[in-house]
Structure 1
Amino acid sequence: MGCDGGSIPKRDELVKQKQKQAKVDQNILNRVQWFSCALSKKPLTAPIVSCGLGKLYNRDAILEFLLDRSAYGDGDLICKHIRSLKDVVTLQLELNPSFSESNSPSLTNHDQEPIARYICPITMKEMNGKHRFVYLDTCGCVMSEQALKEVPSKTCIKCAKPFESFDVIVLNPRPDELEAMEKALLEKHARIMTEKKEKRKAKASKKEVEKMNSADSTLLNNTSSSKRKLDEATEAPKHKKQHVAEKPPSAQPIQSVTHSLTAAVAAKVAEQMAVNATRQKSSALQSLYSRGRTSKENFMNR
């Protein structure tokens, strides 16, 4: 080492030093996060969705990923927590009036600041990464964090839908916030599973109660029907006796009396007719005899 005509090594060539991490240009990172899909790396176009970790995606890219999880090489690393469309929320974004496709620079052009497509509906700040933005998991409305802090409310400023503190999701959070958001996402999934179990139990309990009520109603109806039949069977002899007691005199004696009266009347009529016939006969005979007597008297007188 030395005196041999060679070069003299430096200290950094002999001693291993800790390598410094390459610093990422924050402007470039902001452009990538706020202007392109985290999954497909294509420019963000409506409809835009976000997950519980605050990443921005094109909805079409998420659909392709769910249909084929190998459609994107790093899909399982970026959005492994997305298992269905229920794990993402469609964002309700406010368009920037000053934005136009003609004056929007390319993401690779660092000389000009890109114009954000969306703004906060309250503060009118552009959603370009310079300001913190949040969305509400209950309705999907997007606004700046400043607007949410300045107007404290339990209802959405834009659509008046109620929400809780854990429903506020930060868009493109800082690296030191990701761990807390992942924990909150796990708690959310656990809470959803608990609510589903409680709903299933409540539904099963409701069905069981309805089944018991139906069984009780059927038993009550059967009991009432049996009791009614028993009462009817018990009351049938009483009604029969009552009908027997209240039954008018037999029709046979009435018919015999009627026949007797009819016979008596008929006999009387026959007797009267015989008398009349006898009378008529007697008058005829008398006239005959009187005629004969007159003839005899006339002959004698001669």
Structure 2
Amino acid sequence: MGCDGGSIPKRDELVKQKQKQAKVDQNILNRVHWFSCALSKKALVTPVVACGLGKLYNRDAILEFLLDRTAYGDGDQICKHIKSLKDVVTLQLEPNPSFSESHSPSLTNHDQEPVARYVCPITMKEMNGKHRFVYLDTCGCVLSEQAMKEIPSKSCIKCTQPFESYNVVVLNPKPEELEVMEAALGEKQARILAEKKEKKKAKASKKELAQLNSADPSMLDSTSSSKRKLDEATESPKHSNKRQHVAVAENPLLVQQRAATLSSTQSLTAAVAAKVAEQMAANASRQKSSAIQSLYNKSGRASKENFMNR
């Protein structure tokens, strides 16, 4: 700055400025995301699978990762949400008729425009990152977003399998869309877990019912009869009488039978009462003293001869 040849420092040499974020070529990103596996970084080869966040993988790479989670250095960061093969969907991709192995994409040659291996079966647009693509996690069919908008339907355009709006997953979403997809993936996993719990409960109830049906029929009959007797014993008289009256009112034949039973019961009661009164009178006559009877003759008059003048 002085006596050194007259060098003059610039402002950016004296003041620390915020470093600008390095810009990445979008073409390179498209080649990495759409032409290579997100885990192994190798070229995508059928069978190709996708996770709930829209990332593309080779199925072989996912199998290696599940067997050994240390097989890839950054595997736990990229596939931390993948616990089993149920967390990925095998994609039904439409091959590109104009693709050949000689046109296979090269990640290092930026001058050559790569030819996509797969296309949309409806619009025939290449799956090269220039167009947005989605897949259905119900059937695994891959379609362009334009085809989904032009042909709105609640069933897959390719295989006619029904789906809902939450079954549509965007492939290689933008960073701002990735956060929303992570939240949606958490809700989906919670919903699947709740459905599994309900299925387990239904299965357990069916198993208990099957065990009861396979038990001894005599034991079931005895159990049911004892339960019925217990219910009849604990039933209040008011309810039992009400139930009898309802049954009689519903059947006229029961009404006639009940009237005949009442009349026969009344006549039998009168006959029994008369017989009891006659027997009581006979017993009263027998209980008279024989000494008093000796004072009277057969005609009922007092005898002249008694124990004093005999």
Q: Normalising by structure 1, what TM-score?
A: 0.70
| 1:183 partner SS | helix
CA–CA distance in structure 2, aligned partners of residues 64 and 223 of structure 1: 57
* Larger CA Rg, structure 1 vs 2: 1
Deviating above 6 A after TM superposition, structure 1's stretches of 4 or more consecutive aligned residues are none
2:20 corresponds to: 20
Map 1:89-104; keep pairs closer than 5 Å: 89-104=89-104
| 1:12 partner SS | helix
CA–CA distance in structure 1, aligned partners of residues 223 and 193 of structure 2: 44
Equivalent residues of 2:105, 2:116 under 8 A apart = no
Cα distance, 1:202–1:218 mapped onto 2, change above 3 Å: farther
CA RMSD of aligned residues (A): 2.2
Q: Report the CA distance between 1:211 and its aligned residue.
A: 4.0
More helix by share: 1
1:126-161 CA-partner distances (Å, limit 9, x unpaired) = 000000000000000001011011111110000010
Cα distance, 1:105–1:214 mapped onto 2, change above 3 Å: closer
| 2:134 partner SS | strand
Equivalent residues of 2:155, 2:162 under 8 A apart = yes
Map 1:4-83; keep pairs closer than 5 Å: 5=5, 7-83=7-83
1:257 corresponds to: none
1:152 corresponds to: 152
Which one-letter code corresponds to 1:175 in the other structure? P
CA–CA distance in structure 1, aligned partners of residues 211 and 219 of structure 2: 12
CA–CA distance in structure 2, aligned partners of residues 108 and 199 of structure 1: 51
Equivalent residues of 1:2, 1:8 under 8 A apart = no
Which one-letter code corresponds to 2:219 in the other structure? L
When structure 1 is superposed on structure 2, of 136-145 and 210-219 the one drifting more is 210-219
2:179 corresponds to: 179
Between Structure 1 and Structure 2, how many residues are aligned? Answer: 226
Q: Report the CA distance between 1:43 and its aligned residue.
A: 0.4
Structure 1 gaps of 5+ residues are 226-302
Which one-letter code corresponds to 2:141 in the other structure? C
Identical counterparts, % of pairs: 82
Cα distance, 1:117–1:4 mapped onto 2, change above 3 Å: closer
Q: Report the CA distance between 1:5 and its aligned residue.
A: 4.5
Q: Report the CA distance between 1:82 and its aligned residue.
A: 0.6
1:192-235 CA-partner distances (Å, limit 9, x unpaired) = 1100111111122223344455569443345799xxxxxxxxxx
Cα distance, 1:117–1:223 mapped onto 2, change above 3 Å: closer
Which one-letter code corresponds to 1:220 in the other structure? L
CA–CA distance in structure 2, aligned partners of residues 217 and 17 of structure 1: 89
CA–CA distance in structure 1, aligned partners of residues 189 and 223 of structure 2: 50
